[in-house]
């Protein structure tokens, strides 16, 4: 009986983990479409960016990763290109999380989340100029 509850709790945690990844992908797509239509980045977009960062850090933590200061070498310097890469990465992350079972620690997920956090920080600095 205790084992069943443990498995049920793990399954619920994995479902929550995949829901975070879906929300992250949705936020990435929304940020890109908002920038493409307005050609600007407003306060609401910064809030979405903060939410995306929070979700990404939770996904990374759940996957077994940590904040080790990984720097992205070839990041786009243009806001539009950065947001396009953000949308691509968040969708790749969603797909990777959905494919990964709850018993697996994925280095690919950790790598994508590190890159995503670095890209979010870069977008924030570009947008605040």
User: What are the domain boundaries of the chain?
Assistant: 2-127
Which CA distances in Å does 100 have to 7, 21, 75? 16, 12, 27
Of 28, 26, 69, give the one whose Cα is nearest residue 49: 28
Total-model pTM: 0.85
Question: What band does 74 get if pLDDT is binned at 50, 70 and 90?
Answer: low
Question: For the residues 84-112, what does the mean pLDDT come to?
Answer: 88
Question: For the residues 103-122, what does the mean pLDDT come to?
Answer: 88
Q: For the chain, give the mean pLDDT.
A: 87
């Amino acid at each position: 009986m205790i084992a069943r509850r443990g498995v049920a709790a793990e399954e619920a945690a994995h479902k929550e983990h995949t829901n975070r990844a879906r929300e992250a992908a949705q936020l990435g797509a929304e940020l890109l479409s908002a920038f493409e239509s307005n050609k600007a980045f407003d306060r609401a977009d910064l809030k979405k960016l903060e939410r995306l960062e929070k979700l990404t850090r939770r996904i990374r933590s759940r996957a077994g990763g940590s904040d080790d200061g990984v720097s992205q070498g070839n990041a786009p310097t243009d806001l539009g290109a950065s947001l396009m890469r953000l949308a691509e990465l968040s969708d790749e992350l969603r797909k990777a999380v959905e494919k990964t079972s709850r018993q697996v620690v994925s280095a690919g997920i950790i790598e994508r989340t590190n890159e995503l956090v670095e890209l979010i920080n870069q977008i924030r600095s570009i947008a605040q100029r």
